[in-house]
Chain A
């Protein structure tokens, strides 16, 4: 590598680091300015004393956890079965799991609201619809993680071994396959969790309490609390990604949807 090349490498790196960190540093500094003249954690205190924040935040956690559970229950058996027996469905299943990239989230929620707000499908007010919607949004990541996990184990042999010991399908799935791909599932789960925690569109248009709509509302009302909430949200994203990296499977990334 020539010297001038190395200088350019550093130049791009430093530019990237600045672009990445400046907004975050600014938000953090901003969040400390709630008390005039001194830096303080007042904005955080006020935020945690705000019942609307607690409500939105805990609901988002609840939606995230439910999304992960529903995702595991639907996608693990499917991916397993496609690998073991139903190879002829592979193309169709993979095509469907990628559809959320093609249908923008705002169009997706448009479809949900227009479809499910008239009889005979009047379920637009049900929290189940929100969780189902989140499950759809997280499907590309969840399904791909699970499928990658299944690829790394010998599904057929494990299944035969379990069957010859007398295990039924439920036992095979949840006590043999699931523990073997738990790392892959966890990385998909944390990514889904990060997506749900930051997701605005679904909760906003299905009128359910969640963190991002609350933050959007707060931005219009206050100056310093939204900064504190943004810092928390960023820390949460970082934590989720850190956990995924810890598992050594940092290759997953969000491609479209929640922006």
Chain B
């Protein structure tokens, strides 16, 4: 055995190279410096301060205690989570059907390319202009409202409101479902036609094919992408601020108000509020990464 191993090994060097000091790290220093000064330091600064007493700077968990006991802030988290759940589920399901229709639905191929272009635009068209587009469409003096009124149906007489939770959910959907289409498409592409043929040859129905073949393969991607959508709307601020003028109680809106002027009357509480958001986002992105890794097995 020893002889075999020694044959495989390289010939020993005549002189072992002296341990050389490597200058390789110097090339990446500008990047790390930049990232540290403008991203890591400011962010960790928030994190550190959320564990500090505002006056004495001593370590404390009081800020988080105050956060949990503040029903207004807990409610803000809850509304943010609710809108993110609803729009990630809604946008995820709609986006999946849309992507599947374009890729496997027997539509002309140009539909797919145009859908991808639209989705690229729509997922980037967000914030203030998006809010105004829906104001122009569905506010009481909006264009669609006018058309519907002319047809004898005023949505505002039937409980519709744009500047509320459900109105905002509708607006969020505009950047949610395109993102679903863009991210889920490779997974749908990875669904091989042979699998369906094989299932049909074995006598499976469409339902059985989906229940036992397609869905188990796609589920990690679908769930993972929905988690991504969750994060996407959880961190959204500009759209909500521009649409509702800050009257809706999202966490991002609360952080924004706290930043403008200490509306909570407690700086430490504001830092804890912000750190809580990062924790939720970190959990979401980690979940996405893990599920994405799981689904990659099938996408070779």
* A positions within 8 Å CB-CB of B: 1, 5-6, 8-10, 12-13, 15-17, 19-20, 22-27, 29-31, 74-75, 77-78, 81-82, 85-86, 88-89, 92-93, 96, 98-116, 129, 132-133, 135-136, 191, 194-195, 198-201, 205, 212-213, 215-216, 219-220, 223, 226-227, 229-230, 233-234, 237-238, 240-242, 244-245, 250, 252-259
Contact = CB atoms under 8 A, between A and B. Distances in A.
B237 A105 contact: yes
The winner among B38, B106, B175, B242 for most chain A CB atoms within 10 A is B38
A244 B132 contact: no
Contacts of B258: 110
Contact of A253 (B102, B124, B127): B124
Contacts of A13: 98, 101-102, 105, 107, 111, 115
Contact of A102 (B143, B177, B282): B282
A107 B129 contact: no
Interface of B: 24-25, 27-28, 30-32, 34-35, 37-43, 45-46, 49, 94, 97-98, 101-102, 104-107, 111, 115-138, 141-144, 173-175, 177-179, 182-183, 228, 231-239, 241-242, 245, 252, 255-256, 258-260, 270, 274, 277-278, 281-282, 285
A237 B125 contact: yes
A105 B115 CA distance: 28
Contacts of A99: 35, 39-40, 43
B143 A234 contact: no
Contacts of A17: 118
B133 A23 contact: yes
A259 B128 contact: no
Nearest to B240: A259
B30 A78 contact: yes
A191 B39 CA distance: 20
Nearest to A13: B101
A9 B133 contact: no
Contacts of B129: 198, 212, 215, 229-230, 233-234
Interface secondary structure of B, over-half rule: helix
B86 to A, nearest CB: 16
A254 B255 contact: no
Contact of A100 (B39, B120, B130, B144): B39
A253 B237 contact: no
Contact of B30 (A74, A213, A226, A250): A74
Contact of A110 (B24, B46, B133, B142): B46
A51 to B, nearest CB: 20
Given A115-B41, A255-B179, A106 B252 contact: yes
A114 B49 contact: yes
A102 B106 contact: no
A5 B24 contact: no
B18 to A, nearest CB: 20
B95 to A, nearest CB: 9
14 contacts: A13-B98, A23-B174, A77-B27, A101-B281, A103-B278, A104-B234, A107-B235, A110-B255, A115-B42, A132-B34, A136-B35, A200-B238, A258-B127, A259-B239
B132 A5 contact: no
B65 to A, nearest CB: 21
B43 A111 contact: yes
A227 B242 contact: no
